[in-house]
Amino acid sequence: MPESTPLSPAVFSILLALADGEKHGYAIMKESAAQSPPNKMGPGTLYGSLDRMVAGKLVEETGTTDDQRRRYYRITRSGSEALAAEANRLKSALTALHRKGVRPEATV
């Protein structure tokens, strides 16, 4: 099941960016940069990941476009499930970290 496997950082960022509605490429890039500031995503990485995600039915093109150069993508049901599974995994990891007394500030 693809939903149960951990997501790559790029895929996770894209799914998270699309979680609240459809977006075009640059909007996804911008939001993923805002989510994790040091890790910027370039257009190549973005569209390479989107291509794989469209093939894996995690996201789909909406069909609405400002023009041919700015197409919109939205998350699918499988994409939402994969994102939820990843959120659960992160939550468990965070709980384990807290239990072991690891604080995020300590690593900065």
- Which residues here bind another protein, judged by CB under 8 A? 24-26, 29-30, 40, 42-48, 50-51, 68-71
| Contact residues for 45 (Cβ-Cβ < 8 A; gap 6+) | 10
Spatial separation of the C-alpha atoms in residues 47 and 96, rounded to whole Å: 34
Counting Cβ atoms within 10 Å, is residue 108 exposed (0-12), middle (13-18) or buried (19+)? exposed
Closer by beta carbon to another protein, 19 or else 33: 33
State the nearest-atom distance from the C-beta of 67 to another protein, in Å: 8
Nearest to 15 by CA among 97, 98, 90: 90
> Is 30 or 89 the residue whose CB approaches another protein more closely?
30
- For the bound state, the minimum distance from the C-beta of residue 48 to another protein, rounded and expressed in Å, comes to 5
